[in-house]
Structure 1
Protein backbone atom coordinates (compact mmCIF):
# COMPACT_ATOMS: atom_id res chain seq x y z
CA UNK A 1 0.00 0.00 0.00
CA UNK A 2 1.61 3.28 -1.04
CA UNK A 3 1.40 6.81 0.34
CA UNK A 4 -0.87 7.64 -2.57
CA UNK A 5 -3.38 5.08 -1.37
CA UNK A 6 -6.93 6.47 -1.70
CA UNK A 7 -7.69 4.92 1.69
CA UNK A 8 -5.60 7.56 3.43
CA UNK A 9 -7.04 10.48 1.52
CA UNK A 10 -8.64 12.78 4.10
CA UNK A 11 -12.09 12.55 2.53
CA UNK A 12 -11.88 8.76 2.23
CA UNK A 13 -10.89 8.41 5.89
CA UNK A 14 -13.86 10.51 7.01
CA UNK A 15 -16.22 8.17 5.16
CA UNK A 16 -15.07 5.11 7.10
CA UNK A 17 -17.14 3.73 10.01
CA UNK A 18 -16.42 5.59 13.27
CA UNK A 19 -13.67 4.39 15.59
CA UNK A 20 -14.95 2.13 18.35
CA UNK A 21 -13.69 3.95 21.40
CA UNK A 22 -14.05 2.71 24.97
CA UNK A 23 -17.40 3.27 26.65
CA UNK A 24 -17.48 6.11 29.15
CA UNK A 25 -17.87 3.68 32.05
CA UNK A 26 -14.47 2.25 31.12
CA UNK A 27 -12.76 5.65 31.17
CA UNK A 28 -11.59 6.69 34.62
CA UNK A 29 -10.64 10.28 35.45
CA UNK A 30 -8.11 10.45 38.29
CA UNK A 31 -7.58 13.58 40.36
CA UNK A 32 -6.00 12.47 43.64
CA UNK A 33 -3.80 9.86 45.31
CA UNK A 34 -6.80 8.07 46.86
CA UNK A 35 -8.12 7.31 43.38
CA UNK A 36 -4.63 6.28 42.27
CA UNK A 37 -4.43 3.68 45.00
CA UNK A 38 -7.65 1.99 43.84
CA UNK A 39 -6.07 1.20 40.44
CA UNK A 40 -2.48 0.67 41.58
CA UNK A 41 -2.46 -3.12 41.37
CA UNK A 42 -4.17 -3.15 37.98
CA UNK A 43 -1.66 -0.74 36.46
CA UNK A 44 1.34 -2.49 37.97
CA UNK A 45 0.28 -5.73 36.25
CA UNK A 46 0.06 -4.10 32.81
CA UNK A 47 3.02 -5.05 30.61
CA UNK A 48 1.97 -2.82 27.70
CA UNK A 49 0.11 0.48 28.05
CA UNK A 50 -1.23 2.93 25.51
CA UNK A 51 0.26 6.31 26.41
CA UNK A 52 -0.27 9.99 25.64
CA UNK A 53 -0.35 13.35 27.37
CA UNK A 54 -2.13 16.64 26.83
CA UNK A 55 -1.04 20.17 27.71
CA UNK A 56 -2.93 23.41 27.97
CA UNK A 57 -2.04 25.33 24.79
CA UNK A 58 0.17 28.40 24.80
CA UNK A 59 -0.90 31.37 22.73
CA UNK A 60 1.61 34.15 23.41
CA UNK A 61 5.08 34.36 21.86
CA UNK A 62 7.65 33.20 24.39
CA UNK A 63 5.03 31.67 26.67
CA UNK A 64 6.39 28.48 28.23
CA UNK A 65 4.09 25.49 28.59
CA UNK A 66 3.49 24.27 32.13
CA UNK A 67 2.32 20.89 30.87
CA UNK A 68 1.64 18.10 30.83
CA UNK A 69 -1.74 18.78 32.41
CA UNK A 70 -3.26 15.38 31.60
CA UNK A 71 -1.60 11.97 31.29
CA UNK A 72 -3.41 9.07 29.62
CA UNK A 73 -2.70 5.38 30.10
CA UNK A 74 -4.80 2.66 28.48
CA UNK A 75 -5.18 -1.09 28.68
CA UNK A 76 -7.31 -3.07 26.25
CA UNK A 77 -10.26 -2.62 28.61
CA UNK A 78 -9.86 0.75 30.31
CA UNK A 79 -8.35 4.20 29.95
CA UNK A 80 -7.10 6.23 32.87
CA UNK A 81 -6.89 10.01 32.59
CA UNK A 82 -4.70 11.58 35.26
CA UNK A 83 -5.00 15.25 36.14
CA UNK A 84 -1.38 16.21 36.75
CA UNK A 85 -0.45 17.36 40.25
CA UNK A 86 2.35 16.47 42.65
CA UNK A 87 0.59 13.38 44.03
CA UNK A 88 -0.49 11.90 40.70
CA UNK A 89 2.95 12.53 39.19
CA UNK A 90 4.59 10.78 42.14
CA UNK A 91 2.24 7.83 41.64
CA UNK A 92 2.92 7.65 37.88
CA UNK A 93 6.70 8.08 38.03
CA UNK A 94 7.51 4.39 38.79
CA UNK A 95 5.26 3.28 35.91
CA UNK A 96 6.56 5.78 33.37
CA UNK A 97 10.17 5.06 34.37
CA UNK A 98 9.77 1.29 34.60
CA UNK A 99 11.78 -0.35 31.78
CA UNK A 100 9.65 -3.50 32.11
CA UNK A 101 6.39 -1.68 31.35
CA UNK A 102 6.15 -0.72 27.69
CA UNK A 103 4.40 2.56 26.89
CA UNK A 104 3.22 2.90 23.27
CA UNK A 105 2.02 6.04 21.56
CA UNK A 106 2.42 8.45 18.65
CA UNK A 107 4.78 11.42 18.46
CA UNK A 108 6.38 10.86 21.86
CA UNK A 109 9.53 12.94 21.27
CA UNK A 110 7.94 16.04 22.79
CA UNK A 111 6.50 13.98 25.64
CA UNK A 112 9.99 12.85 26.64
CA UNK A 113 11.10 16.48 26.72
CA UNK A 114 8.24 17.77 28.86
CA UNK A 115 8.44 14.83 31.26
CA UNK A 116 12.18 15.33 31.63
CA UNK A 117 11.45 18.86 32.81
CA UNK A 118 9.18 17.31 35.47
CA UNK A 119 12.02 15.07 36.63
CA UNK A 120 10.61 11.92 35.00
CA UNK A 121 12.64 9.85 32.54
CA UNK A 122 10.36 7.87 30.25
CA UNK A 123 11.65 4.32 29.84
CA UNK A 124 10.60 1.63 27.31
CA UNK A 125 8.54 4.10 25.32
CA UNK A 126 7.67 3.00 21.80
CA UNK A 127 6.84 5.73 19.28
CA UNK A 128 4.64 4.15 16.62
CA UNK A 129 4.74 7.19 14.33
CA UNK A 130 7.68 5.83 12.31
CA UNK A 131 6.58 2.22 12.28
CA UNK A 132 4.80 2.09 8.93
CA UNK A 133 7.61 1.93 6.40
CA UNK A 134 6.59 -1.66 5.57
CA UNK A 135 3.37 -0.21 4.11
CA UNK A 136 5.36 2.16 1.92
CA UNK A 137 4.93 5.26 4.12
CA UNK A 138 8.12 7.27 4.41
CA UNK A 139 6.59 10.07 6.46
CA UNK A 140 5.59 9.77 10.11
CA UNK A 141 2.14 8.29 10.60
CA UNK A 142 -0.38 9.79 13.01
CA UNK A 143 -2.83 7.77 15.06
CA UNK A 144 -5.79 8.75 12.84
CA UNK A 145 -4.21 7.42 9.65
CA UNK A 146 -2.93 4.32 11.45
CA UNK A 147 -6.45 3.44 12.62
CA UNK A 148 -7.77 3.98 9.09
CA UNK A 149 -5.04 1.78 7.61
CA UNK A 150 -5.25 -1.11 10.06
CA UNK A 151 -8.89 -1.11 11.14
CA UNK A 152 -10.74 0.75 8.36
CA UNK A 153 -12.22 3.10 10.96
CA UNK A 154 -12.37 6.90 11.27
CA UNK A 155 -10.91 8.30 14.48
CA UNK A 156 -12.30 11.83 14.58
CA UNK A 157 -9.73 14.38 15.78
CA UNK A 158 -11.35 17.71 16.64
CA UNK A 159 -8.83 20.55 16.50
CA UNK A 160 -11.08 22.54 18.85
CA UNK A 161 -10.92 19.79 21.47
CA UNK A 162 -7.24 19.08 20.87
CA UNK A 163 -6.32 22.70 21.58
CA UNK A 164 -8.73 23.12 24.49
CA UNK A 165 -7.82 23.80 28.12
CA UNK A 166 -6.55 20.47 29.42
CA UNK A 167 -6.01 21.93 32.88
CA UNK A 168 -9.73 22.51 33.41
CA UNK A 169 -11.75 20.60 35.97
CA UNK A 170 -13.97 18.91 35.27
CA UNK A 171 -13.00 17.91 31.76
CA UNK A 172 -15.80 18.02 29.20
CA UNK A 173 -17.18 14.76 27.83
CA UNK A 174 -15.58 15.63 24.50
CA UNK A 175 -12.18 16.07 26.16
CA UNK A 176 -12.56 12.77 28.03
CA UNK A 177 -13.44 10.88 24.87
CA UNK A 178 -10.64 12.53 22.84
CA UNK A 179 -7.97 11.89 25.47
CA UNK A 180 -8.98 8.28 26.08
CA UNK A 181 -9.10 7.52 22.35
CA UNK A 182 -5.53 8.69 21.77
CA UNK A 183 -4.05 6.27 24.30
CA UNK A 184 -6.47 3.41 23.59
CA UNK A 185 -6.07 3.66 19.81
CA UNK A 186 -2.28 3.64 20.11
CA UNK A 187 -2.47 0.41 22.10
CA UNK A 188 -4.77 -1.18 19.50
CA UNK A 189 -2.41 -0.18 16.69
CA UNK A 190 0.55 -1.64 18.54
CA UNK A 191 -1.23 -4.92 19.23
CA UNK A 192 -2.36 -5.22 15.60
CA UNK A 193 1.13 -4.59 14.26
CA UNK A 194 2.52 -7.13 16.69
CA UNK A 195 -0.13 -9.69 15.71
CA UNK A 196 0.74 -9.24 12.04
CA UNK A 197 4.46 -9.37 12.88
CA UNK A 198 4.92 -5.96 11.29
CA UNK A 199 6.67 -4.13 14.12
CA UNK A 200 9.97 -2.58 12.96
CA UNK A 201 13.09 -4.33 14.23
CA UNK A 202 14.09 -1.53 16.63
CA UNK A 203 10.64 -1.62 18.26
CA UNK A 204 10.67 -5.40 18.54
CA UNK A 205 14.09 -5.14 20.17
CA UNK A 206 12.79 -2.57 22.68
CA UNK A 207 9.98 -4.93 23.63
CA UNK A 208 12.21 -7.96 23.86
CA UNK A 209 14.70 -6.09 26.04
CA UNK A 210 11.94 -4.78 28.32
CA UNK A 211 10.37 -8.19 28.79
CA UNK A 212 13.71 -9.81 29.55
CA UNK A 213 14.87 -7.18 32.03
Structure 2
Protein backbone atom coordinates (compact mmCIF):
# COMPACT_ATOMS: atom_id res chain seq x y z
CA UNK A 1 0.00 0.00 0.00
CA UNK A 2 1.40 3.41 -0.87
CA UNK A 3 1.81 6.18 1.66
CA UNK A 4 -0.97 8.33 0.24
CA UNK A 5 -4.07 8.38 2.39
CA UNK A 6 -7.05 6.58 0.95
CA UNK A 7 -10.39 8.37 1.00
CA UNK A 8 -13.39 6.51 2.30
CA UNK A 9 -16.28 6.40 -0.16
CA UNK A 10 -19.00 8.94 0.60
CA UNK A 11 -22.42 7.87 1.84
CA UNK A 12 -23.80 8.78 -1.58
CA UNK A 13 -21.19 6.63 -3.33
CA UNK A 14 -21.84 3.68 -1.05
CA UNK A 15 -25.53 3.74 -1.97
CA UNK A 16 -24.57 3.14 -5.61
CA UNK A 17 -22.49 0.05 -4.76
CA UNK A 18 -23.90 -3.48 -5.10
CA UNK A 19 -25.39 -4.89 -1.92
CA UNK A 20 -23.19 -7.04 0.31
CA UNK A 21 -23.93 -10.74 -0.44
CA UNK A 22 -24.94 -12.14 2.93
CA UNK A 23 -25.37 -15.84 3.68
CA UNK A 24 -28.68 -17.37 2.57
CA UNK A 25 -30.88 -18.49 5.45
CA UNK A 26 -29.92 -22.15 5.00
CA UNK A 27 -26.32 -21.20 5.88
CA UNK A 28 -27.36 -19.45 9.11
CA UNK A 29 -27.85 -21.69 12.14
CA UNK A 30 -29.79 -20.38 15.15
CA UNK A 31 -28.80 -22.25 18.30
CA UNK A 32 -30.69 -22.16 21.59
CA UNK A 33 -30.11 -25.65 23.02
CA UNK A 34 -26.98 -27.47 24.13
CA UNK A 35 -27.78 -30.49 21.95
CA UNK A 36 -27.53 -28.23 18.89
CA UNK A 37 -24.07 -27.14 20.03
CA UNK A 38 -22.92 -30.74 20.08
CA UNK A 39 -23.77 -31.22 16.39
CA UNK A 40 -21.53 -28.30 15.35
CA UNK A 41 -18.80 -28.73 17.97
CA UNK A 42 -16.15 -30.18 15.66
CA UNK A 43 -16.57 -27.63 12.87
CA UNK A 44 -16.50 -24.70 15.29
CA UNK A 45 -13.62 -25.84 17.47
CA UNK A 46 -11.42 -26.64 14.46
CA UNK A 47 -11.98 -23.31 12.68
CA UNK A 48 -8.75 -21.29 12.54
CA UNK A 49 -10.64 -18.02 11.91
CA UNK A 50 -14.02 -16.91 13.22
CA UNK A 51 -15.94 -13.71 12.65
CA UNK A 52 -17.38 -12.51 15.96
CA UNK A 53 -20.06 -10.13 17.15
CA UNK A 54 -22.73 -9.89 19.84
CA UNK A 55 -26.14 -8.30 20.22
CA UNK A 56 -27.87 -7.19 23.40
CA UNK A 57 -31.36 -6.03 24.22
CA UNK A 58 -31.11 -2.22 24.32
CA UNK A 59 -31.39 -0.36 27.61
CA UNK A 60 -33.45 2.82 27.30
CA UNK A 61 -34.11 3.77 30.93
CA UNK A 62 -31.68 5.60 33.20
CA UNK A 63 -30.02 3.23 35.64
CA UNK A 64 -31.13 0.14 33.72
CA UNK A 65 -28.44 -2.56 33.92
CA UNK A 66 -27.24 -4.22 30.71
CA UNK A 67 -27.71 -7.99 31.06
CA UNK A 68 -26.32 -8.95 27.66
CA UNK A 69 -24.99 -10.26 25.49
CA UNK A 70 -28.24 -11.98 24.55
CA UNK A 71 -27.02 -13.20 21.15
CA UNK A 72 -23.49 -14.28 20.21
CA UNK A 73 -22.62 -14.56 16.53
CA UNK A 74 -19.75 -16.58 15.10
CA UNK A 75 -19.05 -17.16 11.42
CA UNK A 76 -16.68 -19.02 9.15
CA UNK A 77 -16.40 -18.42 5.42
CA UNK A 78 -19.15 -21.03 4.93
CA UNK A 79 -21.73 -20.56 7.73
CA UNK A 80 -22.95 -18.27 10.48
CA UNK A 81 -23.88 -19.51 13.95
CA UNK A 82 -26.24 -17.44 16.11
CA UNK A 83 -26.22 -18.49 19.76
CA UNK A 84 -29.11 -17.38 21.97
CA UNK A 85 -27.29 -17.04 25.26
CA UNK A 86 -27.88 -19.35 28.22
CA UNK A 87 -25.46 -20.65 30.89
CA UNK A 88 -25.05 -23.96 29.03
CA UNK A 89 -24.30 -22.23 25.74
CA UNK A 90 -21.79 -19.89 27.40
CA UNK A 91 -20.02 -22.91 28.88
CA UNK A 92 -19.87 -24.47 25.41
CA UNK A 93 -18.44 -21.30 23.86
CA UNK A 94 -15.96 -20.50 26.65
CA UNK A 95 -13.09 -22.73 25.35
CA UNK A 96 -13.50 -21.27 21.85
CA UNK A 97 -13.24 -17.69 23.07
CA UNK A 98 -10.31 -18.51 25.36
CA UNK A 99 -8.42 -20.60 22.77
CA UNK A 100 -5.26 -18.69 21.71
CA UNK A 101 -5.00 -20.75 18.51
CA UNK A 102 -8.36 -19.61 17.12
CA UNK A 103 -8.42 -16.05 15.80
CA UNK A 104 -11.66 -14.16 16.39
CA UNK A 105 -12.17 -10.98 14.34
CA UNK A 106 -14.76 -8.23 14.51
CA UNK A 107 -15.60 -4.58 15.05
CA UNK A 108 -16.32 -2.70 18.28
CA UNK A 109 -15.23 -5.59 20.48
CA UNK A 110 -13.92 -3.69 23.49
CA UNK A 111 -17.35 -3.53 25.12
CA UNK A 112 -17.88 -7.20 24.26
CA UNK A 113 -14.73 -8.05 26.19
CA UNK A 114 -16.16 -6.24 29.22
CA UNK A 115 -19.48 -8.08 28.98
CA UNK A 116 -17.77 -11.46 28.57
CA UNK A 117 -15.51 -10.81 31.54
CA UNK A 118 -18.62 -10.28 33.66
CA UNK A 119 -19.69 -13.76 32.51
CA UNK A 120 -16.34 -15.28 33.52
CA UNK A 121 -14.89 -15.52 30.01
CA UNK A 122 -11.53 -13.99 29.04
CA UNK A 123 -11.38 -13.30 25.31
CA UNK A 124 -8.16 -14.53 23.73
CA UNK A 125 -6.76 -13.97 20.22
CA UNK A 126 -9.42 -11.37 19.39
CA UNK A 127 -8.59 -8.81 16.70
CA UNK A 128 -10.30 -5.41 16.59
CA UNK A 129 -10.49 -4.82 12.84
CA UNK A 130 -11.46 -1.15 13.10
CA UNK A 131 -7.84 -0.38 14.01
CA UNK A 132 -6.30 -2.30 11.09
CA UNK A 133 -6.59 0.42 8.44
CA UNK A 134 -3.52 2.50 9.26
CA UNK A 135 -1.85 1.32 6.04
CA UNK A 136 -4.59 3.18 4.15
CA UNK A 137 -3.56 6.41 5.85
CA UNK A 138 -6.72 6.26 7.98
CA UNK A 139 -5.83 7.03 11.58
CA UNK A 140 -9.35 6.92 12.98
CA UNK A 141 -11.16 3.61 13.55
CA UNK A 142 -13.01 2.33 10.47
CA UNK A 143 -16.45 0.77 10.93
CA UNK A 144 -17.71 -2.36 9.23
CA UNK A 145 -19.80 -0.46 6.65
CA UNK A 146 -16.88 1.70 5.53
CA UNK A 147 -14.49 -1.27 5.57
CA UNK A 148 -16.71 -3.23 3.17
CA UNK A 149 -17.09 -0.17 0.94
CA UNK A 150 -13.34 0.51 0.91
CA UNK A 151 -12.15 -3.05 0.30
CA UNK A 152 -14.92 -4.45 -1.89
CA UNK A 153 -16.90 -1.44 -3.21
CA UNK A 154 -20.07 -2.93 -1.73
CA UNK A 155 -22.92 -1.48 0.30
CA UNK A 156 -23.25 -3.09 3.73
CA UNK A 157 -26.70 -1.95 4.93
CA UNK A 158 -27.16 -1.28 8.65
CA UNK A 159 -30.76 -0.97 9.88
CA UNK A 160 -31.15 1.06 13.06
CA UNK A 161 -34.59 -0.42 13.68
CA UNK A 162 -33.09 -3.92 13.63
CA UNK A 163 -29.96 -3.03 15.60
CA UNK A 164 -32.07 -1.56 18.42
CA UNK A 165 -34.65 -4.36 18.43
CA UNK A 166 -35.20 -6.86 21.23
CA UNK A 167 -32.34 -9.35 20.93
CA UNK A 168 -33.50 -11.22 24.02
CA UNK A 169 -36.73 -12.40 22.39
CA UNK A 170 -37.23 -16.15 22.21
CA UNK A 171 -37.87 -16.27 18.45
CA UNK A 172 -35.69 -13.99 16.35
CA UNK A 173 -37.23 -12.35 13.30
CA UNK A 174 -35.84 -12.97 9.80
CA UNK A 175 -34.41 -9.41 9.64
CA UNK A 176 -32.68 -9.99 13.00
CA UNK A 177 -31.23 -13.30 11.80
CA UNK A 178 -29.92 -11.77 8.56
CA UNK A 179 -28.52 -8.70 10.33
CA UNK A 180 -26.76 -10.75 13.01
CA UNK A 181 -25.25 -13.19 10.52
CA UNK A 182 -23.88 -10.41 8.31
CA UNK A 183 -22.19 -8.73 11.27
CA UNK A 184 -20.18 -11.90 11.95
CA UNK A 185 -19.61 -12.96 8.33
CA UNK A 186 -18.29 -9.65 6.97
CA UNK A 187 -15.32 -9.52 9.40
CA UNK A 188 -14.10 -12.88 8.03
CA UNK A 189 -14.00 -11.48 4.49
CA UNK A 190 -12.41 -8.22 5.66
CA UNK A 191 -9.66 -9.99 7.61
CA UNK A 192 -8.91 -12.36 4.72
CA UNK A 193 -8.69 -9.44 2.28
CA UNK A 194 -6.39 -7.43 4.57
CA UNK A 195 -4.24 -10.54 4.96
CA UNK A 196 -4.15 -11.04 1.17
CA UNK A 197 -3.05 -7.43 0.71
CA UNK A 198 -0.34 -7.82 3.36
CA UNK A 199 -1.96 -5.15 5.53
CA UNK A 200 -2.50 -7.02 8.79
CA UNK A 201 -0.11 -5.53 11.40
CA UNK A 202 2.84 -7.87 11.89
CA UNK A 203 2.32 -8.33 15.62
CA UNK A 204 -1.26 -9.58 15.32
CA UNK A 205 -0.67 -13.33 14.74
CA UNK A 206 1.61 -13.44 17.80
CA UNK A 207 -0.44 -11.30 20.16
CA UNK A 208 -3.07 -12.94 22.32
CA UNK A 209 -5.20 -9.88 23.12
CA UNK A 210 -5.70 -7.06 20.64
CA UNK A 211 -8.22 -4.83 22.40
CA UNK A 212 -5.92 -2.59 24.44
CA UNK A 213 -7.77 -3.40 27.62
CA UNK A 214 -6.13 -4.22 30.92
CA UNK A 215 -5.88 -7.94 31.72
CA UNK A 216 -7.86 -9.28 34.62
CA UNK A 217 -5.64 -9.17 37.72
CA UNK A 218 -7.80 -11.43 39.86
If the TM-score is normalised by the length of the shorter chain, which range does it land in? over 0.9
Q: CA RMSD in A?
A: 1.2
Question: 1:58-105 CA deviation, whole Å, 9 max, x = no partner?
Answer: 001111100000000000000000000011111000101111111000
Separation (CA, whole Å) in 1 of partners of 2:50 and 2:207: 14
**1:2 aligned to 5, 28, 51, which one?**
5
Shift of 1:201: 2.5
Q: Counterparts in 2 of 1:74-153, with a 5 A limit?
A: 74-153=75-154
* Number of aligned positions between the proteins: 205
Aligned to 1:183: 184
**Greater fraction of residues in helix:** 1
Separation (CA, whole Å) in 2 of partners of 1:81 and 1:144: 20
Could you list the structure 1 runs, at least 4 aligned residues long, displaced by more than 4 angstroms after superposition: none
Unaligned runs of 5+ in 1: 208-213
Separation (CA, whole Å) in 1 of partners of 2:129 and 2:16: 24
Unaligned runs of 5+ in 2: 209-218
State the SS of the aligned residue for 1:8. Answer: coil
Q: Counterparts in 2 of 1:14-93, with a 5 A limit?
A: 14-93=15-94
Separation (CA, whole Å) in 1 of partners of 2:181 and 2:131: 22
Separation (CA, whole Å) in 1 of partners of 2:80 and 2:172: 15
TM-score, normalised to structure 2's length?
0.91
Separation (CA, whole Å) in 1 of partners of 2:157 and 2:57: 20
Aligned to 1:169: 170
Separation (CA, whole Å) in 1 of partners of 2:178 and 2:186: 11
